[in-house]
């Protein structure tokens, strides 16, 4: 069955997660949220809290597998001691219905995603960067070491990110009906021999050694909305559909890429207000990027040489993430905007001069 606003109450009643009284007293509400899946935020009553219900929109095998992957993460967190660390930053697991491809979890009360926090506050607290590093290292290092070569790792896929496949095949997989902006982007990349050669070098550095999230971005981090008053960062990480055995530097690169996205996409154009009135100045974010990296390196227990090698690799991955983000930003657009062109240029600059990117962009000694 496909859930709708009309039948979801009956589904939850049949499952025992909703009482008839909740319907009769008017406390029950179901709010559909926008996503590639069908998501509902369910409010039952004050005593029982809220649910988050996720179902795939179409019976597509790839979508079925990605939702099953996310459900696997929740199941392991609640049933395998080695994965218990995940419970500290996952919403509470309720149930997975494999027949109808429905995942039910707790809805975090009073939480906002990290993108909304950054946009509203225009601040990048060092304590928050530290918490992000601790969270990533907890499954990159702690969990992966605990289950090294164990049977549970076979539950996860082991493949390179899609942008690796795109660049390896000359970017033919962006769809037959490309927009003008997409064609411009592909031409700018594929007609630049240096760009293509640098991308090939980055692809060869991939090492699948760790459990990874695969879709790290501010929108997938939830933070308690009262943090500005409490100063305590209760950080959660959601949407584990692309979790796999991959390269931990890919997740780390995604953290850096999110900062650079704010900088590039909100940078004033000629004639607009300066950074103090508009945008996300890079120098405001650099201390947070540096704090994140230094905390992460310490928790991963890398030597100085390992840290340097992995940082250079991370810069390359970040360049690839920028390409992917550029594509996502221009779908159906009539032409590339100055901001997306800048994002593509930043990607190439990082590939050309990774050392300079580390020093001047990430500001990491």
Q: Check residue 276 and give its pLDDT.
A: 45
Report how far residue 356's alpha carbon sits from residue 346's, in angstroms, rounded to the nearest whole number: 12
C-alpha angle 285-288-290 in degrees, rounded to nearest 5:
110
Please answer whether residues 17 and 104 qualify as being in contact, where contact means their C-beta atoms are separated by less than 8 angstroms. Answer: yes
Altogether, the residues listed in the chain come to a count of: 365
111-361 CATH pick, 3.40.50.2300, 3.40.50.300, 3.30.43.10, 3.90.1200.10: 3.90.1200.10
Bridge partner residues of 106 (DSSP): 51
Write out residues in the chain with pLDDT < 50, as ranges. Answer: 275-276
pTM (predicted TM-score):
0.93
Q: Give how far Cα 34 sits from Cα of 5, 30, 38, 41, 110, Å.
A: 14, 13, 7, 11, 19
Q: What is the pLDDT of residue 29?
A: 87
Strand order in the sheet with 93-97: 29-33, 38-45, 49-55, 102-106, 93-97
Q: Please report, for the chain, the start and end positions of each structural domain, with discontinuous segments joined by +.
A: 8-106, 111-361
- Phi/psi at 133 (5° precision): -65, -45
109-163: pLDDT as tens digits: 888 999 999 999 889 999 999 999 999 999 999 999 999 888 998 999 999 998 9
Q: Which CATH class is domain 8-106?
A: alpha beta
Q: Identify whether the C-beta of residue 252 lies closer than 8 Å to the C-beta of residue 264.
A: no
Q: What percent of the chain has pLDDT over 90?
A: 68
How large is the C-alpha radius of gyration of the chain?
A: 21
């Amino acid at each position: 069955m496909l859930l709708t606003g009309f039948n979801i109450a009956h589904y939850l009643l049949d499952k025992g997660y909703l009482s008839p009284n909740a319907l009769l007293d008017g406390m029950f509400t179901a709010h559909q949220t926008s996503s590639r899946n069908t998501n509902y935020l369910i409010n039952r009553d004050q005593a029982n809290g809220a649910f988050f219900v996720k179902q795939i929109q179409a019976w597509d095998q790839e979508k079925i597998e990605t939702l099953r992957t996310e459900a696997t993460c929740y199941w392991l967190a609640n049933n395998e001691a080695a994965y218990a660390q995940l419970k500290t930053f996952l919403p509470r697991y309720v149930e997975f219905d494999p027949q109808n491809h429905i995942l039910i979890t707790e809805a975090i009360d009073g939480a906002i995603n990290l993108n909304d926090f950054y946009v509203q506050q225009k601040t990048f607290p060092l304590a928050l960067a530290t918490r992000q590093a601790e969270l990533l290292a907890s499954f990159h290092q702690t969990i992966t070491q605990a289950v090294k070569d164990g049977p549970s790792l076979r539950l996860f896929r082991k493949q390179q990110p899609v942008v690796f496949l795109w660049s390896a095949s000359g970017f033919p997989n962006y769809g037959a009906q490309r927009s003008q902006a997409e064609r411009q982007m592909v031409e700018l990349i594929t007609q630049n021999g240096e760009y293509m050669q640098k991308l090939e070098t980055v692809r060869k550095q991939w090492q699948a050694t760790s459990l990874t999230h695969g879709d790290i971005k501010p929108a997938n981090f939830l933070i308690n909305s009262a943090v500005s008053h409490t100063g305590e960062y209760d950080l959660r990480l959601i949407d584990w559909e692309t979790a796999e055995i991959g390269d931990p530097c890919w997740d780390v690169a995604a953290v850096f890429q999110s900062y650079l996205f704010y900088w590039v996409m909100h940078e004033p154009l000629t004639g607009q207000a300066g950074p103090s009135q508009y945008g996300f100045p890079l120098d405001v974010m650099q201390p947070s990027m540096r704090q994140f990296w230094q905390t992460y390196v310490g928790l991963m227990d890398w030597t100085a040489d390992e840290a340097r090698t992995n940082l250079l690799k991370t810069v390359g991955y970040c360049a690839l993430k920028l390409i992917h983000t550029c594509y996502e930003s221009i779908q159906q657009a009539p032409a590339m905007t100055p901001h997306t062109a800048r994002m593509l240029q930043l990607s190439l600059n990082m590939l050309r001069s990774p050392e300079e990117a580390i020093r001047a962009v990430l500001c990491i000694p």
